[in-house]
Amino acid sequence: MIKLLLIQPENAEIKRWRRRQFNNFSQITMPYLAAFVDSRYFEITIIDEYNQKIPYSNNFDLAAITVNTPNAPHSYQISEKLRKAGVKVVMGGPHVTLMPDEAMQHADFIVAGEGEEVWPVFLEEFRLGNPKQVYISESPPRLDSLPAPRWDLVKRAPMMKGAVFATRGCPYNCRYCNLKQIYHAGFRKRPVIEVVEELMMSKSRFFVFWDDNLFADGIYAKELMRALAPLKRKWAAQATLKDCNDDSLLELAKAAGCLYIFAGIESFQESSLKDAGKEINQVDVYSHIIDKIHSHGIMVQAGIVFGFDSDTEDIFDKTLYTCEKLGIDGATVSLLTPFPKTPIYEQYKKEGRLTKEDWSHYNGKTAVAFSPSNMDEAQLWEGYARFIKRFYSIGSFIRRMSVSRTNILVNLAINLGYKLGIRKNVD
């Protein structure tokens, strides 16, 4: 029996940030990859560093590490320690897909791209003793007849194990987003019945869709909502604001249990949206669509990014004012991060504006990794931190709720949770 360790890494900086937040669901990657492992030949252990320590002394034969960009240096340290102990290491995930040559210097094997087809091939060849060093997903894998994630292997509360994906990819082309570099082209969908059957296996009444844009295909989304309604679960999902401008879809989503939608608003300034390559967002219709979402009893969690080339020092106050005016229920606020291989990364690299070489600074939360156009790095960080503290103040909450009037008690709990965490993270 081959002893397999699956690691969801978390460096200390981001672990501190996540621990101080209210709503942290389990990452789906490792439970999902575990579902493809043949238990006749492999004994599986999943470790999520968010709340577990890596058992380096347990004599594993193989360790698999999923690597995102800010966790890359930490993942390489984990790999070095495991390899010194005689453990073979395979790496995959977004950063490996973006930077395969770099990752190969720190692992015995890499799996780049979408894993549904190449991951099982690697496992079988490893079992037979003839693995290759590099496995690359050459074509889009089928998303039907997929195995259900092995949540039974995750050591967390049942409520925090609720995650599922129904679609993959996004039809849009934002300049700061690396989805186009990570996934094969095209927006793809799982059979609705298979998504529902997977959710029926879960004990959690609450779950999140791990999709990047659940509503991108309105016809599919409506079919999915109708199928979800009988389950009587509560959930959240990510969608582009443009794709929420559909009363019939929102009505079905509410009936299916939607609590809130994470909408990638990014900015309330047209010039910044142009910098982002997100001109599908139209500032003049924000109010109309947000009011429409609220009218169906669904909260809006806005994705907001600071640091675009058009942003000046007054962007923080203007954004807070607009959030309160529109009744934005919550906000996930990030510093613009030039992820490798994205158009913005290539632009900033050419212009000599990348100021950090350590990938751990590319997390969008705790550090500025580039030189902004209209302010310095310290001004961007200070404005970002000030905005978060003011947005999650009691006064701002009252002003926002006087407009939103949506799920007040749930909204209060979520905002207080963020307030407690944010106060510790940015003070």
pLDDT in tens, 114-144: 999 999 999 999 999 999 999 999 999 999 9
Rounded-to-5 percentages of helix, strand, coil across the chain: 45, 15, 40
The residue among 416 and 44 whose pLDDT is bigger is 44
Q: Which residues have C-beta within 8 Å of that of residue 92, sequence separation ≥ 6? A: 64, 65, 66, 67, 110, 111, 112, 115, 119
CA distance 354 to 311: 17
Is the distance from CB of 75 to CB of 20 less than 8 angstroms?
A: no
Provide the pLDDT for residue 51. Answer: 83
Average pLDDT score, the chain? 93
* The CA-based dihedral angle spanning residues 323, 325, 330, 336, taken in that order and rounded to the nearest 10 degrees: -10
Q: What is the pLDDT of residues 295-340, one digit of tens each?
A: 999 999 999 999 999 999 999 999 999 999 999 999 999 999 999 9
Is the torsion defined by CA of 121, 126, 132, 136 positive or negative? positive
CA distance 222 to 404: 25
Please say if the pLDDT value at position 1 is more than 80.
yes
Provide the pLDDT for residue 57. Answer: 84
340 phi/psi in degrees, rounded to 5: -60, 145
Provide the pLDDT for residue 27. Answer: 86
Q: Are strands 2-8 and 62-66 parallel, antiparallel or unpaired?
A: parallel
Q: Are strands 206-209 and 163-164 parallel, antiparallel or unpaired?
A: parallel
Which segments within 227-348 are labelled E, that is strand? 234-239, 258-266, 299-306, 330-335
Provide the pLDDT for residue 11. Answer: 79
44-53 residues labelled b (16+ CB within 10 A) or e (exposed): bbbbbbbbbe
**Band (158; pLDDT cuts 50, 70, 90):** low
Count of beta carbons in the 10 Å neighbourhood of residue 38: 11
The residue among 205 and 256 whose pLDDT is bigger is 256
pTM: 0.93
Provide the pLDDT for residue 19. Answer: 59
129-155 residues labelled b (16+ CB within 10 A) or e (exposed): eebeeebebeebbebeebebbbbebbe
Provide the pLDDT for residue 357. Answer: 92
Please say if the pLDDT value at position 247 is more than 90.
yes
Count of beta carbons in the 10 Å neighbourhood of residue 352: 8
**Band (26; pLDDT cuts 50, 70, 90):** confident
Tokens of 132: 């290759």
